[in-house]
A and B are shown apart, each in its own frame.
Chain A
């Protein structure tokens, strides 16, 4: 079984609705798959950071280093028809959900071949075919959109789920509250993943919220909990329970993943406002190290746990080469892609024609 990437598995053409988690036949395969994806995200992001230092990337770079267990643990178990709404620190979610490393790299390098065709960089794009709803810079603004996408799936007779990401600092925005309230009323099939990395830029959590972040979910009638966001297995299992609950039509769950932002807010931030000791403390809780020692204690050998696998190194190198060779857009394309002037009404057609209507949606 190929647990390398959702994308390569999908190209294999088997059941498109199978998630990375379901494809893993055994616990062993699940662990191997999670381990692979953790490294894939880390190596990709580390490579982006290096390119950035070399001046090959012009826009902002928001490292998710140390937080990989969240994007991997939440997305790995999703189906192709499930959707994600990642934000600025979740570039890794794009990879795990199945956007090719080539396309993500081209996006970061502002190439014509990128999903946004150079219009914008970083996570400000997506691919609705594989369920990636990108974000703008406006924090929490994608959360009401996640509600709409989830309700649309329901209207279309599907049981797809949307996983919406947000930093803990973004829970201060009105859009967060409006989205959760709306979702709570309608039991929207959305799972709310709060990435509590202890800071919003330079602002520490006690200046962001007077209550624990997960508690906010309770006000909107949703089960809400905080979990160890650096333990990928916990993240995976908790999310899958929440996803299944949402799939059954029982509504959303707020999951606060407690983690730490190992780098500055962006590449431009030296993060001098925080304690070195604090950073060192969290370095010990590195999600990859954690999973690795768990696996070593559970029958895996050192040889089975490369750091990272050669295929990851190849994949990322290929992505950089490909993106570098891709041309920048032509200036005149600045006025393209603004309106869709194609004729007629676009009718939604189910990509799963044999898909049965869900009983609880009989109304």
Chain B
């Protein structure tokens, strides 16, 4: 066992996979000599050389496209977006190219690649360094969408993503990068995609969440214990494919559900989960399904604005109390 930050866990996952499998390589802006804007690939250029650690021009569309080209030719590229906000500049390559290859090839081709990078707010990053865009990609068949909440999961899920034969969009919440420290195993392990985790067991109410909001929900669950409210927190880990079984089992047990996410409320992934609960667990629900999310705006810069924008522990606690009383 050893101690590692969230960011360190990601670095370990990439490094170990590159050592294990010569077809794994990384590409992105400033990932080489500099080791990446957040130092995720620090030291890789020295260890693996310029051929497997490619410093790219500022060309998100080409970064993704080049990764796709290499993937269909048998490599396992890991493309870094310096910030996940800039993934919009590579959008077409992801949703129209990467996602559709296998379909168009009648199942005869796979695109084993990862697009990863820092996402999320609460770091005074302003409109273009704070976005949570995971929901954009959940509507695209052929992609997998992953968003870890712990260092253990960050490493295990990223390894699973690299070994997966499909394009995986891997969102790393930058707020967690250096704030999360955990002791994780030294041995090789993976966390399978598509399997949610019960972060905290409970019987009265289910909170479904992912990313940095998991920590908020666990704090809220602790506070709610004082109200004698026993909250179950589900960390989705993977949004696509979604682990419906874990969600449904939990809600059938607690009869109350709340979804907490950092993206704007409207059109967020919470709506999809609420719809699934309405369709498949209606008879079990004692109360309406509730969403706690960011307000429908851009992620603002000035601290009071960003504070208002983001969901916080108090929002979660208050909504949970209301829901419990319903």
Contact surface of A with B, Cβ cutoff 8 Å: 58-60, 110-112, 116, 118-122, 124, 136-141, 169-170, 172-175, 200-203, 207-209, 273, 328-335, 338
Interface flags, B282-306, vs A, CB<8A=1, else 0 = 0000000000000111101111111
- In this complex, the member of B125, B305, B307 whose beta carbon has the largest number of chain A beta carbons within 10 angstroms is B305
B182 within 8 A of A: no
Instruction: Report yes or no: B304 in contact with A202, Cβ–Cβ below 8 A.
Output: no
* Complex CA–CA separation, A332 to B295 (angstroms): 10
Instruction: Report yes or no: A208 in contact with B300, Cβ–Cβ below 8 A.
Output: no
**Min CB–CB distance A194 → chain B (angstroms):** 13
How many chain-B residues does the 8 Å CB contact rule pick out?
Answer: 37
Specify which chain A residues have a CB less than 8 angstroms from the CB of B305 in the assembled complex: 118-119, 329, 331, 333-334
B85 within 8 A of A: yes
* Complex CA–CA separation, A112 to B309 (angstroms): 16
B276 within 8 A of A: no
Specify which chain B residues have a CB less than 8 angstroms from the CB of A174 in the assembled complex: 59, 61, 89
Q: Which of the candidate stretches B29-37, B220-228, B232-240 sits at the interface with the other chain?
A: B29-37
Contact surface of B with A, Cβ cutoff 8 Å: 29-30, 33-34, 37, 55, 57-62, 83, 85-86, 88-89, 124-129, 295-298, 300-309
Instruction: Report yes or no: B89 in contact with A173, Cβ–Cβ below 8 A.
Output: yes
Of the candidates B37, B61, B301, B309, the one whose C-beta lies within 8 Å of that of A59 is B301
Specify which chain B residues have a CB less than 8 angstroms from the CB of A110 in the assembled complex: 301-303
Ranked 8 nearest A-B pairs via Cβ? A118-B302, A331-B308, A172-B57, A137-B128, A202-B34, A110-B302, A58-B124, A334-B305
Of the candidates A112, A120, A335, the one whose C-beta lies within 8 Å of that of B126 is A120
- In this complex, the member of B55, B88, B301 whose beta carbon has the largest number of chain A beta carbons within 10 angstroms is B301
- State the majority secondary structure of interface residues on A: loop
Of the candidates A118, A122, A172, A330, the one whose C-beta lies within 8 Å of that of B59 is A172
Contacts A174-B59, A207-B57 given: A138-B301 contact, CB under 8 Å? no
* Complex CA–CA separation, A338 to B309 (angstroms): 13
Give 25 CB contacts A-B under 8 Å: A58-B124, A58-B303, A59-B301, A116-B301, A118-B301, A119-B302, A119-B305, A120-B300, A120-B301, A124-B126, A136-B127, A137-B85, A141-B89, A172-B58, A172-B59, A174-B59, A200-B57, A200-B58, A201-B37, A203-B55, A207-B55, A207-B57, A329-B302, A331-B308, A338-B296
Specify which chain B residues have a CB less than 8 angstroms from the CB of A59 in the assembled complex: 124-126, 301
* Complex CA–CA separation, A60 to B85 (angstroms): 16
Instruction: Report yes or no: A334 in contact with B55, Cβ–Cβ below 8 A.
Output: no
Specify which chain B residues have a CB less than 8 angstroms from the CB of A209 in the assembled complex: 57
Specify which chain A residues have a CB less than 8 angstroms from the CB of B85 in the assembled complex: 137-138
* Complex CA–CA separation, A70 to B46 (angstroms): 37
* Complex CA–CA separation, A259 to B24 (angstroms): 38
* Complex CA–CA separation, A26 to B160 (angstroms): 70
Which residue on chain B has the smallest CB distance to residue A330? B304
Instruction: Report yes or no: A138 in contact with B88, Cβ–Cβ below 8 A.
Output: yes
Specify which chain A residues have a CB less than 8 angstroms from the CB of B89 in the assembled complex: 138, 141, 173-175
Which residue on chain B has the smallest CB distance to residue A210? B57
Specify which chain B residues have a CB less than 8 angstroms from the CB of A112 in the assembled complex: 302
**Min CB–CB distance B59 → chain A (angstroms):** 5
